[in-house]
Structure 1
Amino acid sequence: MTIAPAPLEDWLRERYFTAPIDISSSGVENYTVDEVLGLAGQDASALGGIIFRDSHSLGSAPLRQALAERFGVQPDQVMATQGSSEAIYLTMHALLRPGDEVVVPTIAYHALDRIAAEIGCRLVRWEIRTKEGLVDNLDELLTLIGPSTRMVVLNFPHNPTGATVSAEQQESIVAACAAGGVWLAWDGAFRELVYDAAPLPEPVCRYERAVSFGTLSKAYGLPGLRVGWVLAAPEVLAACVRLRDYLSLALSPLVEAVAVHAVEHASELLGPKLSQAEANRTLLLDWLEAHDGLVQAEPPRGGVTAFPLVKSLDNTTALAQRLEREHGVLVVPGSCFDAPRHLRIGFGGPETELRTGLDRLAELLSGLSH
């Protein structure tokens, strides 16, 4: 089997490191090692005694305990992974087989649908429609969950649109999956980065065939740490370990030590970045309103990305290339999500960078419309 390319990673692979102004990212502004350790009253010297022996296949006991306490599950329901990408890859290969029917959103982060396709599953696509950033066609999703469905894969708050579901809608999804014994794979990368409501409940706490993915890369500002997790029943994690034995084996104990501090002091890490994101979100919403003749988007209710449609273009790839080449501004063309008329704009970084990037994008868009 050959897995399809990941267009988002292909787009960002070099540009992410060279573009002077980045308004493409789906995460908040990054923390330093000293900032994370400082929350625990320590500095880098505290890491000097770590022995570089192999870690446990499921992750170190302190890290699993910290994640369990954070999300209200038991430690034996936690596996720490190399980012959420490994968590998704291991889980889907553990639970899916060729020919399985899998319900996925039409616009999705590549790992959430292309891995299932690579396995040989039959994808049933749900086209998300929203009103003011809240899913408006949940009934259509529920009708797609039938006797042949093996798994439903969802990502809320959604990347790249920032749309989400209410807690009541999430409960309807869980109930529909439970009625048919369907696996629910829930990507909660942006669970704790929300603006108009409390974070959605953890589905693993309410349904034994739910599997949740999380990461320190998005809301926590620690993408370079490469720490994610999967929350699931112990037997699912045991199947993931069998696959991991042929891939990454385990995390680094150095990485796990920093991650423990991050999770134990999550609220202190999340608070400042959420405040920054809220202020930037207001700036972005004002920009969208001021340029509604050029672009169209609903307000993101979670995460730090918006996905505006560019009204004058059928494909934004050339626009994104020109924006980077002539103006030094990085965005993501919608073709990376099979939605070529759109752009992904990230608003989790510094306010001055966002403002400059949006001004240069507006200048370029205005030139196209004349």
Structure 2
Amino acid sequence: MVKINDFAVESWMDAYETKCKYNIAETCCASISIDQLRELCDNKDRQVFDTSKILDYGAIRGSDDLRNNLARLYSAKVTTPLSPDSILTTPGAIQANYLTAYALVGPGDHVICHYPTYQSLYEIPSQLGAEVDLWKAKPENGWVPAIDDLKSLIKPNTKLIVINNPNNPTGAVLGKSFLQQVIDIASAKNITIMSDEVYRPLFHSISPLDKEFPPSLLSMDYANVVVTGSMSKAYSLAGIRIGWIASRNSALIETIAGARHYTTISVSHLDEQIAAYALHSSTVHALLARNIQLAKTNLALLDKFVLKNEDECEWVKPVAGTTAFVRFHREGKPVDSVDFCKKLLESTGVLFVPGSQSFGEEFKGYVRIGFVNQTDVVKAGLDAATKFIRKNLDDVDLAA
């Protein structure tokens, strides 16, 4: 029997997400309805669904409309367009990440994973029998890991390097020149890189004109790359459970497609129709503009919150994505993040995620805040959290 460790962040959300008043733990841009999605479309005559379609298994590897739209987005500003055949759809990015590991690694293999990050990115390779080392980022370096550390982690049996860009929980990004250094290291040993890009392209604090603006790893000149993405985060459509896997290496795609037959067969083509509608050129620009503006507006609220409580908290301000990693302390001593989050929830109805439980024991005092929810929810929740900090922080246990 496979040893399955508790998926800490998902267990926390499962326990408390429906019981809070102010959900500032959610990592999706504020979700929208199909009616709201239709309002964002330039062409009001376009149908979201073709209700005449027979509800069979549909296109096994993903609908043509959806894969064509994804290929168009990945092909922007690159010299070599991405073929739709280079994309497989999945039920959410969590399945995309699982399938990639399931297809590519096993006993005897070594995996290096960017950290802190979403737990399944390193837990699944471990469950599959691979040896996993964590490539640790530190706040004093802006949550960007050191290239020399990556070099020191490489082994003769290193099969896969996993990165998460933009990063959950920190909101940091790995810039273009940094990504090139990772590619140089991987290519020297023919190591595959998997890049979880579910928060792409939600860049709220870095301009595409910046020379270090991070491209998708797919657009950089290395064949042994797999990227994963999702409709959940930057595109506000978690409820349709659509993710994808993309690679310019046809051998990698075929290997993953073979594994996919055992787990997926095909994805709901009702969900795929909604995703294709959202990513169509008549809709996607307005959808992303809405979410980037929401992120900027709410990040300003979070920035004010940190300034108001600067004696009790500190952070590295996020650059992209929907999350921030904030450290709370009393006179410099980190609080017990689980006790803090539980007492905050009980007292105010505000839901944060405890970092030490959900991302690693070393993250004492840290909580993850998801700040791209509805602005009124974020504002009211942060105001309530400020009152709690000023009145009740002394009642919170310190970290052991």
TM norm structure 1: 0.94
Tell me how far 1:340 sits from its aligned partner.
4.1
Q: Tell me how far apart the structure 1 counterparts of residues 135 and 168 of structure 2 sit (CA, whole Å).
A: 15
Tell me how far 1:325 sits from its aligned partner.
2.0
Unaligned runs of 5+ in 1: none
Residues 75 and 125 of structure 1: CA distance in aligned 2, closer, same or farther (over 3 Å): same
Q: Secondary structure at the match of 1:311?
A: strand
Residues 133 and 283 of structure 1: CA distance in aligned 2, closer, same or farther (over 3 Å): farther
Matched, 1:201 2:225: no
Aligned to 1:327: 348
Aligned to 1:123: 132
Aligned to 2:393: 368
Range with greater deviation from structure 2 (243-252 or 51-60): 243-252
Aligned to 1:69: 72
Q: Tell me how far apart the structure 2 counterparts of residues 124 and 132 of structure 1 sit (CA, whole Å).
A: 20
Range with greater deviation from structure 2 (75-84 or 6-15): 6-15
Question: Considering only aligned residues, what root-mean-square deviation do their CA atoms show, in Å?
Answer: 1.9
Tell me how far 1:291 sits from its aligned partner.
1.1
Aligned to 2:78: none
The correspondence of residues 159-238 of structure 1 with structure 2, limited to 5 A, is 159-194=168-203, 195-198=205-208, 200-205=214-219, 206-232=221-247, 233-238=249-254
- The answer to whether the Cα contact below 8 Å between 1:21 and 1:329 also exists between their aligned partners in 2 is yes
Q: Secondary structure at the match of 1:28?
A: coil
Tell me how far 1:142 sits from its aligned partner.
3.5
Q: Secondary structure at the match of 2:179?
A: helix
Q: Secondary structure at the match of 2:262?
A: coil
Aligned to 1:317: 338
Tell me which amino acid in the other structure corresponds to 1:347.
F
- The answer to whether the Cα contact below 8 Å between 1:97 and 1:119 also exists between their aligned partners in 2 is yes
Specify which of 227, 237, 261 is matched with residue 245 of structure 1: 261
Aligned to 1:336: 358
CA deviation vs aligned residue, 1:107-161 (integer Å, no higher than 9, x gap): 1101111001101111111110245846263332243234332111110111001
Matched, 1:307 2:332: no
Specify which of 146, 156, 174 is matched with residue 165 of structure 2: 156
Q: Tell me how far apart the structure 2 counterparts of residues 43 and 74 of structure 1 sit (CA, whole Å).
A: 25
Q: Percent identity?
A: 26
CA deviation vs aligned residue, 1:162-221 (integer Å, no higher than 9, x gap): 111211111111121111101101011112111213252122232111100111100111
Aligned to 1:26: 27
Unaligned runs of 5+ in 2: 76-81, 396-400
CA deviation vs aligned residue, 1:216-269 (integer Å, no higher than 9, x gap): 100111111111111122322222233222322211111111110111132211
The correspondence of residues 37-186 of structure 1 with structure 2, limited to 5 A, is 37-38=38-39, 39=41, 40-42=43-45, 46-72=49-75, 73-130=82-139, 133=142, 135=144, 137-186=146-195
Q: Secondary structure at the match of 1:246?
A: helix
Specify which of 286, 300, 306 is matched with residue 304 of structure 2: 286
Residues 45 and 6 of structure 1: CA distance in aligned 2, closer, same or farther (over 3 Å): closer
Tell me which amino acid in the other structure corresponds to 1:4.
N
Matched, 1:258 2:274: yes
- The answer to whether the Cα contact below 8 Å between 1:156 and 1:188 also exists between their aligned partners in 2 is yes
Q: Tell me how far apart the structure 2 counterparts of residues 346 and 169 of structure 1 sit (CA, whole Å).
A: 26
Q: Tell me how far apart the structure 1 counterparts of residues 375 and 38 of structure 2 sit (CA, whole Å).
A: 25
Q: Secondary structure at the match of 2:66?
A: helix
Range with greater deviation from structure 2 (198-207 or 24-33): 198-207
- The answer to whether the Cα contact below 8 Å between 1:36 and 1:258 also exists between their aligned partners in 2 is no
- The answer to whether the Cα contact below 8 Å between 1:151 and 1:182 also exists between their aligned partners in 2 is yes
Matched, 1:10 2:19: no
Tell me which amino acid in the other structure corresponds to 2:29.
V
- The answer to whether the Cα contact below 8 Å between 1:101 and 1:122 also exists between their aligned partners in 2 is yes
Tell me how far 1:21 sits from its aligned partner.
0.9
Q: Tell me how far apart the structure 2 counterparts of residues 331 and 130 of structure 1 sit (CA, whole Å).
A: 19
Q: Tell me how far apart the structure 2 counterparts of residues 328 and 36 of structure 1 sit (CA, whole Å).
A: 29
- The answer to whether the Cα contact below 8 Å between 1:34 and 1:44 also exists between their aligned partners in 2 is no
Q: Tell me how far apart the structure 1 counterparts of residues 202 and 99 of structure 2 sit (CA, whole Å).
A: 25
Residues 98 and 132 of structure 1: CA distance in aligned 2, closer, same or farther (over 3 Å): closer
Tell me how far 1:315 sits from its aligned partner.
2.2
CA deviation vs aligned residue, 1:57-103 (integer Å, no higher than 9, x gap): 21111111111111121111101111111111111010001121111
Tell me how far 1:42 sits from its aligned partner.
4.2
